[in-house]
Amino acid sequence: MLFSEKKIVSLKTNNNYCCMQIEKNHSEKVLTNQVILIGRYLTKKYIHIGMDWKDTTVNNDTDTEWYQYFQNGLESDSKLDYNQNNHRWNKCSGDGIDFEITDNEKQRYIPFLVKIPQLYDKLKHWPTTEQKILVLAVARIMSYNEQTFVQINTNDTYNSLVKMTETTTSTLVKVHYMDMLCSFVEHDAGLKWTLETQYWKNIWNLVLQCQDDNCDDINQKIYHILSKFLQKTSKCAPKICQHVVKQMIQPIICSADKHYPKTKKQPIDLVNPEEYQNFPQTVKCLIEILERLWANNETTSDALKYFSTLRNSCETLTLLSNNRQSSLQLNRILTILCFYEIIELFDGIKVVNQDPLVLSGFFKIFEREMKKGNFDGMWKLLYYGQKYCHHNSKKVPQYFQKGKSIGIGDELTSFQIEPVVVLGEKLLVIPFPQVTECDELLRDALIGDLLSSVSESCVQLGYEVREQYVKAPMGSELTALKCIIKTKPYYSRECRAKVFQGLIFSFKDFITYFKIDVELKDTEHNQLIAEAMLEAIFVFLNNFDLSWRESLGCLEVYMLNYQLFTCSMNWNSNVVILGLKILNITTLKNLTDNMILLVDYSIEHDEMGIMLMEKCASSNVEVREAAMTVICTICQKINEGFESYKNILFHYLTPDVILAKAINDSNQSIRVIALSCLQEIIMMEEFEGYLSSTTFIDNILDVIAKEFDQMILKVSVKLIRQICENDKNESIDNLLKIYKVMFRVAIQERNADVQEEAVKFWKFVTKRNLELQGMIDDVFPNITFSKEHKKIIRLDDKEICKRLIRALDNMSKTGCLYVYQQVLENSETPSQVFSTTLEIITKLSKLLRRYDVTPELISIHGTPQQWSIDSGILSPTTNWVDNDENMRELIEEMINGDITEISCSDVLSLDSDLNVTGAFFSPLNDTEDRLVQVSSLDFMEFIFRKFPNLCKR
């Protein structure tokens, strides 16, 4: 790197690479890719955080030599990929070697590392910061192997690398240095060198130096390295582990000893909040390390035992502290140590006859915070208790009471539900809210479930908590709800169901409270409660496999959520959005066919239609999107059998209203959802005439012609196809315009998804043409009925051949064959579009070959309009069954001959036969509106001559 001897003053990123900005008024040369050694190694995670790079001093001569050394040593190496394209160097080590190193590669890397001290002795100047990081990364990878470690260290290389690191102020260099030290304890040679040099004694100080509240990514990497170091040394070098742990816990122990009364008469000295400012980083690091050690099931008891002496000190400080944040941090440490001691105490015993939460002292911690009135801290502590219990659930014992096993998670869940269930009592200021007899039975059942799954000590403490919490001012319920949301991943299936039921009761009480005096209750705090409660319910409904009991509760949420909107019109946008999302998810996922009757007579759909209509007109984009999503879900449910919802579409959210949103809304996502609603409405017979009308179709075609958003285009094209598919009565009047638009999209559109959807439209056209010639379910039946001649016709191979030629001629007129040929012959056609088209033509080609439809046949006999009675292609009259005798012979042949089975579809009366064109083709006879076409003969030549080669693409 060639710069004047000035310091780099800033570092910024450009396309994931490191770019350096030099002080103004100093010479600067262009940085090449090869100069920036770290490359992608300095990922977004590490570059954007503004690490300290002040140790990077620029010197032209020495930097040139270091540059040449790295250039010659690493640039041509495909594994290191010095030219920045190798992502293996993007991060520090994980749980082992990043990739395997061959013997040849070892022989290349070892000299590179060994010669670094010699070059330093010559230059008296260390390489740049980026180069230091790469050196440490290579050394760390190589050091996992004992033999390689010994070879590298023959020249005292590692001591030199340590000295190189000591001169730096860069956090990243220090992080990689610690990572390298951690790799030394993997084998005896490295461990011996580590013990002799004692560089490990400084690892805790390095951790404290590198911690930064603004750089969480770096912090997480540091915690990972230190926890891995403690796990390794606790097995192979316990004294090292013990010494480092002692360094970590010493500040807390000293602070506790300072404030702990030495005699009974000595007054209690509360901890000054300012004193906590002396070791916040220590406490933060301790928590992170303890959590990692606790979560590691294999080595739980190896390193954690050295932290046991910390428990008394933490209890002292929490007892003497009024700082709630510090108390929570210390209580987290205490909780891990409590659970660890339980595991050690019972040593693998799965079931015990005493409550583990009592024995461990967790209830004591919980009760202490209750007496302080720190309810926020209590609810947070329950969350961490659930988290830590979940991480080691197989080792934490269960309590056996009255023939029933009780888990720690069940007991913690009972405490978490308590503030939710008691909320109604606090709001209504009465011992028990007024409820129906059925509701009271359900509440009793929930309470019974809770009491049967906890110990007597838990019940006793629970009553104390309830008594204190009811008297406490409002505020902590928000924390309780947020903690329940965070705890969801750690709940068992049974606990999740209990919490969900408790949330329903709380939601019901909240609405009852709100209805008493809406204006008085319409406060900011109540808005926050409603938001937190709806968020909790939404989280539990999402990705939750509900049983029949919870499904009934879900139905109740559906009704309560609707009541929430009707009892007040002043909810903030967050509440409205969450309410609409719950309305959607309860409708979509949790209403089964068995609940149709329950829903049909219990919901005032008129008022719901008005409410949804108002929300669709909201100025808030998220509210409109959530409301339109509910409407789309309602349309889906109508098609699944919930007929009562149709009233909403008939009187309020009519297709006209939804079409207006699809065309005019300013938000693209809302327009896509509105178009999806129309796709569902197409399936309803009541709106069939409207959706196939010229005006409606023209509006959608205009969207396709003018729109640029790819998702809207895709959904619109699909909508047109579905309209045509559902046009059973062939009532569409503007087919020519449809063909022209879909022709242009299929040929000119460059977005693969949109073009593929257009090809699928032409696939439908192909299928409809074949059906008009008698095909049913991709098969030609043995006989069909001609409405024009009022005769039953036998469909032999020659007759089918004639019908296939007619179908090809009709598809030629629509432009369908031209679309297929252009898509397949265009080398720029996206692969997914090509594959879809290839599948269509392959199937069509097999059908034509089966019935001997060849280019020669079409060339000789021409188009169907040119056929005569004397033509070599059989006339349909020869297949007519025009008297009873012929009919009897045909039936006998079908029963006793080769044809032994016939389905109902074989004798289905079709609306078309050989000489009937049908609505899908008649508009195309106008010469002035003719589309670009490829003749049937040319297309057959294409299938027989060019298509086989295109299949190999």
Residue that wins the pLDDT comparison between 587 and 820: 820
Phi, psi of 864 (to 5 degrees): -55, -30
Q: State pLDDT tens for residues 842-869.
A: 999 999 999 888 888 888 766 655 554 3
Contact 74, 83 (CB under 8 A): no
- Nearest in space to 152 (alpha carbons), one of 130, 124, 175, 183: 183
| Contacts of range 217-221, beta carbons closer than 8 Å, 24 or more positions apart | 217/45, 217/46, 217/49, 218/45, 218/46, 218/49, 218/51, 218/171, 218/172, 218/175, 219/288, 220/288, 221/91, 221/92, 221/175
Using pLDDT thresholds of 50, 70 and 90, give the confidence band for residue 77. Answer: low
Residue 840 has pLDDT above 80, yes or no: yes
Burial code (b: 16+ CB inside 10 Å, e: under 16) for 26-51 equals eeeeeeeebbbbbbbbbbeebbeeeb
Contact 564, 513 (CB under 8 A): no
The CA-based diameter of the chain, rounded to the nearest angstrom, is 127
Contact 136, 180 (CB under 8 A): yes
| Predicted pLDDT at 884 | 57
- CA separation for the pair 204, 245 (Å, rounded): 9
Q: State pLDDT tens for residues 773-806.
A: 888 888 888 887 766 667 787 888 888 898 899 9
Grouping H, G, I as helix, E, B as strand and the rest as coil, residue 790 is coil
Residue 39 has pLDDT above 70, yes or no: no
Using pLDDT thresholds of 50, 70 and 90, give the confidence band for residue 904. Answer: very low
Phi, psi of 785 (to 5 degrees): -115, 130
Using pLDDT thresholds of 50, 70 and 90, give the confidence band for residue 15. Answer: very low
> If you average pLDDT over each of 291-295, 355-359, 711-715, 791-795, which comes out highest?
711-715
| Predicted pLDDT at 30 | 31
For 461, counting Cβ atoms within 10 Å of its Cβ (0-12 exposed, 13-18 middle, 19+ buried), the class is: buried
* Residue range 319-335: mean pLDDT, rounded: 89
CB atoms within 10 A of CB 517: 9
| Contacts of range 707-715, beta carbons closer than 8 Å, 24 or more positions apart | 709/668, 709/671, 710/751, 710/753, 710/754, 711/668, 711/672, 712/668, 712/671, 712/672, 712/675, 713/745, 713/749, 713/751, 713/754, 714/751, 714/753, 714/754, 714/757, 715/672, 715/675, 715/676, 715/679
Residue 881: beta bridge partners?
792
Q: Whats the size of the chain, residue-wise?
A: 953
| Predicted pLDDT at 672 | 96
- CA separation for the pair 286, 249 (Å, rounded): 8
Q: Which of 173-182, 348-357, 368-377, 615-624 has the lowest mean pLDDT?
A: 348-357
Residue 459 has pLDDT above 80, yes or no: yes
| Predicted pLDDT at 815 | 92
Residue that wins the pLDDT comparison between 446 and 152: 152
Average pLDDT taken over every residue of the chain:
78
- CA separation for the pair 559, 604 (Å, rounded): 10
Amino acid at 395: K
Using pLDDT thresholds of 50, 70 and 90, give the confidence band for residue 755. Answer: very high
Contact 149, 188 (CB under 8 A): no
* Residue range 688-704: mean pLDDT, rounded: 87
Residue 194 has pLDDT above 70, yes or no: yes
Q: State pLDDT tens for residues 644-657.
A: 777 777 777 888 88
Q: Which of 413-417, 836-840, 904-908, 940-944 has the lowest mean pLDDT?
A: 904-908
Grouping H, G, I as helix, E, B as strand and the rest as coil, residue 467 is helix
Q: State pLDDT tens for residues 603-662.
A: 556 678 888 888 999 999 999 999 999 999 988 888 888 777 777 777 778 888 899 999
Q: What is the pTM of this model?
A: 0.77
Distances in whole angstroms, Cα of residue 768 to Cα of each of 369, 771, 773:
74, 5, 9
Using pLDDT thresholds of 50, 70 and 90, give the confidence band for residue 518. Answer: low
| Predicted pLDDT at 264 | 65
* Residue range 212-216: mean pLDDT, rounded: 81
Using pLDDT thresholds of 50, 70 and 90, give the confidence band for residue 388. Answer: very high
What is the domain partition of the chain in residue ranges? 8-197, 769-950
